[in-house]
Amino acid sequence: MKILLSFSLVFLLLLGACTKDTRSIDLNVSAVAALYTPADSQYIKLNPAANISQTFQWQQAQAEDGSLVLYEVAFDQVGGDFSHPFYSTVSDGKGVQNTLTLTHGDLNKIASLGGADFFERKKFIWTVFSSKGTNRVKAKVFRVIDLERPAGFAVLPSSIYLTGSATEAGTNLSAALPMKQISSGEFEIYTKLTAGTYHFVDATTGAPKAYYLDSSAGVLEMKEGGEASFTGADKVMRIRLSFNNVNGSLAEVKSVQLWYCAANSFWCSLPYVAGGVWRYNGFTIAYVSMPWGFEDRYKYKMIINDGTGDKDQWLNYSSNDSPGQDGQYPGTQAYKTINFDANNSSQWDWSWKFDKTYLPQGSVADFWISLKATDPAYTQNYQKE
């Protein structure tokens, strides 16, 4: 009898454990009731070259269960109902904040997507969607925004080159330095400038179109023809051009250092060589011994100054945790590719790992960072001497 009772008790307990939780998930969320900024029908004469920002702000919505609400801002044509907005984006903080910060460059792109041509002034409407899970609710109100686009380039170049007496390649047009296209109409190059002049061209033969950066209005505005001057000591620079926003930027790359995670310090600084490459030769490997063996994690830090002070730019692996690399040297291009977006400064995370079978304790190696415009991707590399 006791055995039967025991089996019955176990059966009831298992039955209870397998009972499906039928509690409903509350997806109810309120609509945004008020829009704060910009004011209704606000007129904005766009000046992308000046890097000005416009903040969109609205009243917070409420989830019925008190949980997190996500926001999306949508733009539509005047007379539209936002069922098919021509542009939408999540709010600041990956959709969490009740604000959206857009540069004049962003607004210029939005106006273009909405059909506004260069120099054209056009009105659009905007509103906010609040959401929780699959439930997405349109705000009770919308506003008009009046945008005027500036001049621009009707045809975006597919290739851009740097040339001039201030550049590494000199004035020989056929040797002009290619810039990397990072997106449509956006280019960059890491290179050294010396005292002299420089400009940009869209081809290395014939009579190419030429462009330069003009700072006379207090911003680096792109213009056709002419050239810019570089004065003072030699500097390694990151130069960026935006044909979408008709502007550019200059930033000095002051150093690149190799960070060894276990030591919580830098192993060495990599001197700039040429052509977008920093390299240190002849470093003796000194791994730190851990209970699990020699620690193999490392990453790099770049110090860059865009005129507003020195800033750390960490060069990271593509994710928070790299797979082991023993027996994998030289590794794939995807593994060696530099992640600029994470910019993670922690001691251990977002780091690469050495192949310790290829690079054992006490071996001597060369390390280099390649930010060549002609490379398929920016990479970090090492090689045993």
Residue 161 sits at φ, ψ, to 5 deg, of: -130, 150
CB 201 within 8 A of CB 160: yes
CB 253 within 8 A of CB 190: yes
Q: Coil, strand or helix: which one is 379? A: strand
Note the pLDDT of residue 217: 75
Of 177, 179, 173, 178, the C-alpha closest to 205 is 173
CB 81 within 8 A of CB 68: no
Mean pLDDT confidence for 281-303? 97
Distance set, CA 167 to CA 155, 157, 195, 226 (Å):
26, 21, 9, 16
Note the pLDDT of residue 27: 86
pLDDT tens, position by position, 319-331:
999 999 999 999 9
Instruction: Give me the percent of the chain exceeding a pLDDT of 70.
Output: 94
CB 197 within 8 A of CB 166: yes
Collect all residues with Cβ–Cβ distance below 8 Å to 28 and sequence separation of at least 6: 63, 64, 65, 132, 135
Please give the distance of CA 199 from its chain centroid, rounded to a whole number. 26
DSSP 3-state percent helix, strand, coil across the chain (nearest 5): 10, 45, 45
Cα–Cα distance between 283 and 23 in angstroms, integer? 62
Residue 71: half-sphere exposure toward Cβ, Cα within 13 Å: 24
Q: Coil, strand or helix: which one is 223? A: strand
pLDDT tops 80 at residue 290? yes
Strand pairing class (293-294; 35-37): unpaired
Report residue 9's pLDDT band, with 50, 70 and 90 as the boundaries.
very low
pTM score, two decimals?
0.76
